[in-house]
Amino acid sequence: MDKKIILLIGGPGSGKTSVINKLAEKGYVCYPEISRQVTLEAQKTGIDQLFLKEPLLFSELLLKGRIDQFKNALSEKAQHIFIDRGIPDVLAYMHYIGDAYPTVFDDACKEHRYSKIFIMPPWEEIYESDNERYENFEQAKLIHNHLVETYQNYGYHLQEVPKTDIETRIAFILNNL
């Protein structure tokens, strides 16, 4: 059996974290989104939104964390490892804000390849803002478009998860591994 590193991607508020948490409850190996942790750490030092204040630093921290997640996933014993967002997400967000980034970001996307990508579409009915999610729904849709474009530019086929209840979303993902 080949090990599969599976990503759940999508714009803010599309249900990724809820699905990852439910998969973890069911016993699957899951890695959480790390941008909230990076944001919370920055807030402890007095920077409310590191991504807005220092986007390159924020993105470098995310890139390092996501590479670490990828490497850790490779050492897991489980056949399927689910990760909330991947390395190309960092570039998609940089594209979204129109910022440049060093070639090491592009290199990381080419060197660390995921087995399968499931994308959660924008879903206004479940969208919520909070302290770490500063985007409104219109911005979430733009980010979604940047994610699609970025992942496709790296040759990934994106499988869209239907907008339905969480158990049906999970069944869809597991049936399409």
**Residues facing residue 8 across a β-bridge:** 84, 118
Residue 81 has pLDDT above 90, yes or no: yes
In the structure encoding, which two tokens stand for residue 167, read together?
Answer: 């158990």
Q: What is the residue extent of each domain of the chain?
A: 4-175
pLDDT at 52: 67
d(CA 149, CA 151): 6
Tens of pLDDT, residue by residue over 47-78, are 777 666 777 888 888 999 999 999 999 999 99
pLDDT at 129: 66
Q: Global pTM?
A: 0.89
pLDDT tier at 133 (50, 70, 90 boundaries)?
Answer: low
CATH of domain 4-175: 3.40.50.300
pLDDT cut 90: percent of the chain above it: 63
